[in-house]
Structure 1
Amino acid sequence: MKLLFEEAKLGKIVLKNRFVRSATWENMTTEDGHLTKELINIYENLAKSEMGLIITGYANVMKEEQPNHGMMGIYDDSFINEYKKLTELVHKFDSKIIMQVAYGGTKTTYNVGKRLIYAPSEIAEQSTNVVGKAMTKEDIDLVINAFVDAAKRIQESGFDGIEIHAAHTYLINQFLSSYYNKRTDEYGGSLENRMRFLVEIYNKTREKVGNDFTIVVKLTSSEFFEGGMTFDETRLICRELESIGVDAIDITGNIHGKAKSMIGEAFDGYELQKEGYFVEYAKVISDEVSIPTISVGGFKDISKIENILNESNIEFFALSRPLLAEPNLIKRWKSGDKKSAICISCSKCRTDQGNYCVVFNKKNN
């Protein structure tokens, strides 16, 4: 029998349990993406609360490419020393921490019209209606190198690994999607070509950081609309990523905050679940690849999570909103109190003053 509170290996990282704080945009940095005392306190409290792995909020790899206010930066060397202090703090409590990196692209409404936004093709993003500049080969190389340079800074900062965000209609996801990617060069057309951007980011990152640094890729299970990226395509992408050496896959979905209303609906042959929205998709992926699969979205009942752990090959479970409502949730579960998380999934935690639970855990508590 597999246990949630046992050591488990994610790539080259040994975690003290199978719980992951999913990457969460906290909206609490300085204007240029540097850490604040408030944000450091959030990570310290997560580490104190028995979290096995913390994935940071997404960090922008290019200074001018900031899809949201208050997101972390990793676009130049000025971040390294402060992140060294952060990783040392987290490690003091025997938690591990990896940084998520992303290029948001047209999945943004922040400072639109004031900056250049890249996209694979000039197709409006469905939720924002923003259109970006179709990238040239030189633009593609520029962004790839930005990811690679960011990865080296992350390694030098003492992080245990990196998560490449290739989901949620951000730039890499758009390259993977036949809906958003209408290119006719080597980066468009066939799935192999549409994967090329992600594969090149991974391969060049691996060259830069070496084989002992853990690299996770976050992928959408499905785009959940007609003509979008399908789960069958995601399955093929996962197999390719395993073959080239990616250490783990984090399975999510492009549902733009509508998960609760979509529970029970079937897409690509699988239903969104109340406990673990995308768990049916993650189960399939976990059967088809030998590298660890992380499932994220809607987890609140530890007994049900334990059942999923032992009825599938999913190895790790990521939470976000429940930890905003109840920062000590994992510690409580470990102590033997297995009541479900108090989070009511109202999604009111995204505020202009930062992400925090407005119901149970006010910002200044």
Structure 2
Amino acid sequence: MSANHISTRNESDLPFLDVLSDEFERESLEVLRKALAEGPAHRSRRGVEVLDYATVSELITDPRLDSQSASVYDRMGGPQSLVEFADEGLLVAMNGEKHRRIRRVLSAGFRVRSVIERRDDMGVTASALADEWGEGRCDFVADFSSPFPMRVLCELLGIPSQDIWLFTAAATELHLLAAVPLAPHFPRIDAALRTLVEYVTELVAARKQRPEHDVISSLIAVQDTEGRLTDAELAWSLVNLIFAGQDTTRYQLASAVLELVQHDAWDRLHEDPTLVPAAVDEALRLRPVTRFVVRIPREPIVIHDVRVEPGRRVILNLLSASHDPIRFDDPGQLRLDRAERYDLPFGWGMHHCLGSALARTEMEAALTLLTSRFTDVQIAEAPEMTAPAGMLHGPETLPLTFHRR
């Protein structure tokens, strides 16, 4: 991949990757495997698709590429709430000084150490949820991976437990932000965003009057010292934390359980809990919840001898990159002793996910507890999955059978 020589191909010369085909719906990984063997760059309805690990890892931090901004939603006719959310709080949609200013405040109030110190509390939350499972059967998504991250996040932010139901319902609706196409879901997205921002605005006002030992109070305290946020930016940033902290972990944790069961690795974690972090790494690689990220060139850029014009969508295909056989031996296998690290799931540089420590700690706490508590875990029936062409992917249902140890 280079931008220092004359391109030999136009975008129209690239092979077409049909991400909305029935074949992609059924076997997206196999389609991507064949596509990557044909060439590392394709064109699709989403944009210019980059499939190989080396180029994806290079472009994800390329300063010539911006993330998709709020103007995209405005041009699509999105609701005002979505445009405001993207402009005031959605860090992945921001660039430049505004992004740095808001991220600086959030980083100061959302410290990694304070998250890791709560691991024992996460284990208690996981245990309480597991105690509620029926005898021998559960739907892992409904009974665990959906309520677990929201309970943890609400405790961290300082949201009263009686309001968790409201946040879970609204935050779960925001998975529609990753839908392809997006426009049909605007009414539901608008309703969810309005619910969340109205509640958060009231909670911020209450914490300004009476601070508590929680993240919201910490963020209010560092508004001035780390670069002031407006009240709107603070409210929408909290909505972003709720959105990112719920849906991604809900899908990724369920995907991790699915992979562990399918690869007969569940009891290995019970026998050796020190393997749990490696299991989390492999789950992030095998079934990345974020299947692709979008970058927009500010200037002409050449990718694999193809000139890509400014403003064109470049799709960094994380699912394909995570299965690139040049980078990973036996890419379709879950290996707890894998030497080559998959270092893309939480982004890089200024767009590295602020919640990465929270997500990893939650998943490690949950898998440690669950593998210690249950055995003979099997998939009772095929899970319902999100559409494979969407940005976020994972199980919507995951029926399991099990025995308690």
Do the two structures share a fold, i.e. TM-score over 0.5? no
Q: TM-score, normalised by structure 2?
A: 0.26
Bigger fraction of residues in helix: 2
Higher relative strand content: 1
TM-score, with structure 1 as normaliser: 0.28
Higher RCO (CA-CA < 8 Å; seq separation 6+): 2
